[in-house]
Structure 1
Amino acid sequence: MDIKRYQGLLWLVAGLLIALIVQFTSQPQWNSKVQRVPVTQDAQGQWTYTQGDTTTVISAQPYTQSPLHPDNLRQAATPPDVEQQWVLIAGEEKPVRLQAYSHQGMASLLPAFLAIVLCLVTREPLMALLGGVISAAILLGRFDLSSDVFIPALATESAAGILILYLWLLGGLMGIWGKTGAAQAFAELMTRRVVRGPRSAKLVTWLLGLIFFQGGTMSTVLVGTTVKPMADKANVSHEELSYVVDSTASPIAILIAFNAWPAYVQALIFVPGVTFLATEADRLSFFFASVPLSFYAVLAILSTFLLSLDKPWFCSAEMRQAMQRARRGEGLNRPDAQPLSAKELHAVTPPADYASHWGEFVWPLVTLIVVAIGTFMFNDSPQIHWAFGAALLLATIMAMVKGMGLRQVMEGFANGWKGVVVASVVLMLAITLGGLSKELGGGNYLVQLLGDKLPFWCLPVLLQWLTMVIAFSTGTSWGTYAVAFPLAMPLVWAVAQSQGVANPELLMMLCFAAVLNGSVYGDQCSPISDTTILSAMTTGCDLMDHVRTQWVPATFAAVGASVLWTGCALVWV
């Protein structure tokens, strides 16, 4: 029997068996963490906490008497009745919030580990993610997958947003561009006027990645859909293109942080008694002051720039082979690759009497960008659905004004929708797995296991690699921030005080940058990350080809950042 042929199935069976054994033989381990959030005292002497428009009167009890105290949790035979409580700690003036969490030890990491291994072994992201989801459901005791897992996941606001944005709007826009030949006309224009070969095509991609500095899914979708037609004509392999698109999305969002990132992150880094983190304005200033220490982001963007210049110094042999294959005209993907975007997205099928024009690509794209940036400026959050909806509406109107019939327009929509169905399902499974992994507490387990084992100068690298593992396992950088920052920042401050660090603020900045950048690395390299999936989808790349060719230069950048953070801690802290 050919074991290699069945190794994916063997891994899947082994993973599910382990999940079943853990479910029936072990209990979740409960612990708690202190969250020091801003509270105020009113005229009547009552402590209150305000979140948004809601103000809550705090009723606190002594920390040692709380059922959520770690000692009380360990002694309890059943899970706590509440998972959050306000308590008073001896020696502190203000109440703090005690948050309970659970994990199942190493088994908490099993679903993400199984999904990643199956991705690498089988190159079938659907099977891999489904295996991860099933194992997570078993560990949580949810054996009715339809009622307990998939229906609740599909019923969420985020799931609806994915279906509307990536399936209907993005798929429809790419389909109508294929039907009108607009993307092809734009590619031909750029080839005549700007792009002279693979190098200039990649440089345009790199520059657009810097311009679209909102980061995350927005940047990958905008850049990927914009550059693919011209990059294809210039014989840029899809492995190269997806790497440049992915590695100029979140890294540039850290460095040019005029986006939603600072507002989200500052809320997670409050530490009582630390004056430079006392107010929201202080924390925002701390964020921007730490930007120059984002060494991973700088090195990642530098490596994509070098690749754009055809200098793949930090790239793998597989990336170099992809470059040579594309330049020889032997295919933009491997012969047996399975791109996430279907062939319908790349078919140019305008009616015989229809005159394609580059303006039908450019003006909807300009509308998309203007609406996204405009809503960000006025609402502090880009309305991506509005932006893509406006672009799709304009592209449709332009096609019909030029004489395309409604039936032909709908054919374009249908082709676009068919082209992104698989990628949308993969994205849905990835988000479902991420939610289940968060419930299992894998991130909390890792932080609890490794959080305070090393001297102060090792803390930046420890936190970097810890968050790299968490983000890689869960496929989300922002989710990793929510787990890591509330634990890491108080830990760093406590270590700085106990070890007599001369410059504790600089150590805090180094560790902050390490968590920020380590999470981005893990998110970028994870095959279950939405940005990784979208980068492969919009550029027409095989998902695992993108993952395998990206992780080598990304890891070079991560190692370089580790050296720089450690050097700074040893020399200046």
Structure 2
Amino acid sequence: MAPISQVQEQVLPQETTPDGSRFVSFQNLDIPLSEITPYHQSPLHPSNLNQTTLKQKLPEPVLARRIGSDGMSQVLKLSVVRHWGGWSLLPALTAIILCFMLKEPLTALLGGLLVGGALIGQYDVTRLLVNSIGQPGSAVLLILYLWLLGGLSGIWGKTGAAQAFARFLSRHCVKGPVSAKLVAWTLGILMFQGGTISAVLVGTTVTPVADEEKISKEELSYIVDSTSSPVAVILAFNAWPGFVQPLLIVSGVSFLATESDRLTFFFQCLPLSFYAILAVLGTFLLSIDKAPFIGRQMKKAIKRARSTGQLSAPDSRPLASREIDNASGDYQPWVLEFVLPLGVLIGTALVTFWLRGTPQILWAFSAAFVLAGGIALMRGMNLNDLTDGVVDGLKSVVLGSVIILLAVTMGHLSQQTGGGAFLVSLLSERLLNVYWLLPALLFGLSIVVAFSTGTSLGTYAVVYPLAMPLAWSLTLGLGLEESSAWLFMALCFACVLNGAVFGDQTSPISDTTVLSALCTGCDLMDHVRTQLPQAMTMAAIATVLWTLVAFFGCPLP
């Protein structure tokens, strides 16, 4: 079927020069109003549109000038979007359905790409992948995630630095069950680079100590899991902002125009990550035995372990716990080998954020990687051993890198198929009267996608290209003030961000869920069942908070 082409209009803000002439900023240029074509002469005016041309190729956005209803001169940015009606959602729906059927995100994402490519007439999926990875943002992301993050974790694994730091903390801080759980929680906060890294390092390190203090496997795996991805959202000095920012491009939104703008928007929205904040706070309260709400099965597990010393349920089938430690046998680990690179990583990100307004994550990981490798060589590690460690680290993130490549490509494809444009045309008018429910609806949608795929990154690629244009269309239709429009977009962004984290954290096919159970020696489904009540309670509270902020913080003019 032929795509449906539509012209979107956006009124651009006007600025005044010292001599009184007015202009608008467009594509990094300041254009005087006198040089802008009148609306009726614009090639995108309805009377001048060539439908045959629109079906073949989308023209670039253009500016037009007209007199508004208030008698003032307006400058419009006109751009053409296209979609295939309900079929525009088919790639995303295919990925979701395949995940339910196959329980495997790689096959599901690839299936979505095949369907999306067929929809737009691009049957060579390899070309879609090449075009996606050829984008500067995608290439930087792969360098960061595959080379630097994988290489740094490989160096820490080879030197044993991360394990040495964690054991040092355990030996000097554990005095009972509460302090043992606090050590696990603290390590989860410090390992904010990513969910799987946190689950592996924290789980394998604290399990022996927790076993001695009679902490149930269900309780420990919940602490490990609930401080992995949620912390990566709150302390987002990792690869996540670089992955998410290309998915936030919305035509006409000035504060999402450039990569720097989108990264700044990401970090400005972090205080609205209510679920992630509540999840981390909830595990802290559980660690100090002050949790206001604990599910019945978790209470039973805690009582069983404390009173009988039985760490797992009688009918459980625990996953085998394994140590992720390939340290060189003749090399003595040093605690500062972990502390110094980690400090440089955090410090570089914070300093560049303060100086430039955007944390330079690539610089931060590069500096930490070079410092970790340099310390290991100066302390006597053989270059071949160090290289082996880096290679092992790269191998450990290959699967994640493939998921990232497919997810980024899925995000680009969703923009081409116009799923966002279709949702805008379908829902924008229907949601005008209950616009304040959109953040909660997006939170629920993200949970469904993430739970069925087991990946938060893949969820972002599917949902963000649909959610952000829809949210912006509502702000325009409602005529929200600039500050209210920003807050509404930020709420929608935060709900997708947190919904994917919740769905990923609670999904039995998620890598962080499996690793949290595996590295603590817990039965997988025991872990899923016992953590769900706490996680759902936090999600419900967060949903209420988002709805209240949208209702009272984004009033109609």
Give the TM-score, by structure 1 length.
Answer: 0.70
Out of 306, 327, 350, the position equivalent to 1:349 is 327
Specify the alignment match of 2:233 in structure 1.
250
Contact kept? 2:226, 2:280, Cα under 8 Å: no
Question: Is 2:472 aligned against 1:486?
Answer: yes
Question: Is 2:85 aligned against 1:108?
Answer: no
Specify the alignment match of 1:499 in structure 2.
none
Out of 402, 406, 409, the position equivalent to 1:425 is 402
Specify the alignment match of 2:128 in structure 1.
149
Compared CA separation, residues 130 and 377, structure 1 to 2 (3 A): same
Count of residues in correspondence between the two structures: 502
State the secondary structure of the residue aligned to 2:6: strand
Specify the alignment match of 2:380 in structure 1.
403
Compared CA separation, residues 65 and 81, structure 1 to 2 (3 A): farther
Question: Is 2:10 aligned against 1:30?
Answer: no
State the secondary structure of the residue aligned to 2:228: helix
State the secondary structure of the residue aligned to 2:79: strand
Compared CA separation, residues 568 and 369, structure 1 to 2 (3 A): closer
Specify the alignment match of 1:186 in structure 2.
165
Question: Is 2:338 aligned against 1:361?
Answer: yes
Residue 189 of structure 1 deviates from its aligned partner by 0.7
Specify the alignment match of 1:5 in structure 2.
none
Specify the alignment match of 2:140 in structure 1.
161
Residue 142 of structure 1 aligns to which amino acid in structure 2?
Answer: Q
Residue 449 of structure 1 deviates from its aligned partner by 1.3
Compared CA separation, residues 299 and 359, structure 1 to 2 (3 A): closer
**Distance (Å, rounded) in 1 between the aligned partners of 2:61 and 2:529:** 41
Of 397-406 and 237-246, more deviation after overlay is shown by 237-246
Specify the alignment match of 1:381 in structure 2.
358
Contact kept? 1:180, 1:349, Cα under 8 Å: yes
Specify the alignment match of 1:8 in structure 2.
none
Compared CA separation, residues 305 and 434, structure 1 to 2 (3 A): farther
State the secondary structure of the residue aligned to 1:393: helix
State the secondary structure of the residue aligned to 1:102: strand
Out of 465, 468, 476, the position equivalent to 2:441 is 465
Specify the alignment match of 1:49 in structure 2.
25
Listed one character per residue, the Cα deviations across residues 391-445 of structure 1 (whole Å, up to 9, x for unaligned) are 2222222222222211211221121121111121112211111121122222232
Contact kept? 2:173, 2:179, Cα under 8 Å: yes
Listed one character per residue, the Cα deviations across residues 438-490 of structure 1 (whole Å, up to 9, x for unaligned) are 2222223223211222564x221135414753795851587567524432322
Listed one character per residue, the Cα deviations across residues 136-159 of structure 1 (whole Å, up to 9, x for unaligned) are 22222111122x212112222223
Of 549-558 and 123-132, more deviation after overlay is shown by 549-558
Residue 348 of structure 1 aligns to which amino acid in structure 2?
Answer: N
**Distance (Å, rounded) in 2 between the aligned partners of 1:113 and 1:550:** 28
Residue 97 of structure 1 deviates from its aligned partner by 0.6
Compared CA separation, residues 292 and 413, structure 1 to 2 (3 A): closer
Specify the alignment match of 1:21 in structure 2.
none
Question: Is 2:95 aligned against 1:118?
Answer: no
- 1:263-342 to structure 2, matched below 5 A, reads 299-306=278-285, 308=287, 311=291, 313=293, 328=311
Listed one character per residue, the Cα deviations across residues 164-197 of structure 1 (whole Å, up to 9, x for unaligned) are 2222221121112121121221121111123557
Residue 49 of structure 1 aligns to which amino acid in structure 2?
Answer: S
Question: Is 2:475 aligned against 1:475?
Answer: no
**Distance (Å, rounded) in 2 between the aligned partners of 1:291 and 1:368:** 19
**Distance (Å, rounded) in 1 between the aligned partners of 2:108 and 2:537:** 27
Compared CA separation, residues 454 and 145, structure 1 to 2 (3 A): closer
**Distance (Å, rounded) in 2 between the aligned partners of 1:51 and 1:524:** 35
Aligned identity (percent) is 33
- 1:126-137 to structure 2, matched below 5 A, reads 126-137=106-117
**Distance (Å, rounded) in 1 between the aligned partners of 2:301 and 2:102:** 21
Compared CA separation, residues 317 and 86, structure 1 to 2 (3 A): farther
Listed one character per residue, the Cα deviations across residues 319-353 of structure 1 (whole Å, up to 9, x for unaligned) are 998999998379xx98679x9xxx8x9233322x3
Contact kept? 1:198, 1:231, Cα under 8 Å: no
Contact kept? 1:31, 1:74, Cα under 8 Å: no
Specify the alignment match of 2:367 in structure 1.
390
Contact kept? 1:86, 1:96, Cα under 8 Å: yes
Compared CA separation, residues 324 and 162, structure 1 to 2 (3 A): farther
Residue 183 of structure 1 aligns to which amino acid in structure 2?
Answer: A
**Distance (Å, rounded) in 2 between the aligned partners of 1:553 and 1:434:** 32
- Unaligned ranges ≥5, structure 2: 211-216, 237-241, 256-263, 450-457
State the secondary structure of the residue aligned to 1:437: helix
State the secondary structure of the residue aligned to 1:55: strand
**Distance (Å, rounded) in 1 between the aligned partners of 2:345 and 2:437:** 39
State the secondary structure of the residue aligned to 2:227: helix
Residue 93 of structure 1 aligns to which amino acid in structure 2?
Answer: S
**Distance (Å, rounded) in 2 between the aligned partners of 1:294 and 1:392:** 29
Compared CA separation, residues 207 and 570, structure 1 to 2 (3 A): same
Contact kept? 1:209, 1:219, Cα under 8 Å: no
Compared CA separation, residues 395 and 117, structure 1 to 2 (3 A): same
Contact kept? 1:166, 1:424, Cα under 8 Å: yes
Residue 225 of structure 1 deviates from its aligned partner by 7.9
Listed one character per residue, the Cα deviations across residues 352-380 of structure 1 (whole Å, up to 9, x for unaligned) are x3222222211111121122222222222
Of 416-425 and 62-71, more deviation after overlay is shown by 62-71
Listed one character per residue, the Cα deviations across residues 69-128 of structure 1 (whole Å, up to 9, x for unaligned) are 579879768426524222234425221112221122222222222223333432322222
State the secondary structure of the residue aligned to 2:386: helix
Residue 250 of structure 1 aligns to which amino acid in structure 2?
Answer: V
State the secondary structure of the residue aligned to 2:63: strand
Of 217-226 and 178-187, more deviation after overlay is shown by 217-226
Compared CA separation, residues 413 and 486, structure 1 to 2 (3 A): same
**Distance (Å, rounded) in 1 between the aligned partners of 2:271 and 2:361:** 29
Give the TM-score, by structure 2 length.
Answer: 0.71
Compared CA separation, residues 356 and 116, structure 1 to 2 (3 A): same
**Distance (Å, rounded) in 2 between the aligned partners of 1:514 and 1:525:** 16
Residue 141 of structure 1 aligns to which amino acid in structure 2?
Answer: G
Contact kept? 1:238, 1:539, Cα under 8 Å: yes
Residue 157 of structure 1 aligns to which amino acid in structure 2?
Answer: P
Residue 207 of structure 1 deviates from its aligned partner by 6.0
Compared CA separation, residues 548 and 323, structure 1 to 2 (3 A): same
Please provide the CA RMSD for this pair. 5.1
- Unaligned ranges ≥5, structure 1: 1-25, 254-258, 272-283, 495-503
**Distance (Å, rounded) in 1 between the aligned partners of 2:24 and 2:333:** 62
**Distance (Å, rounded) in 2 between the aligned partners of 1:233 and 1:509:** 48
State the secondary structure of the residue aligned to 1:31: strand
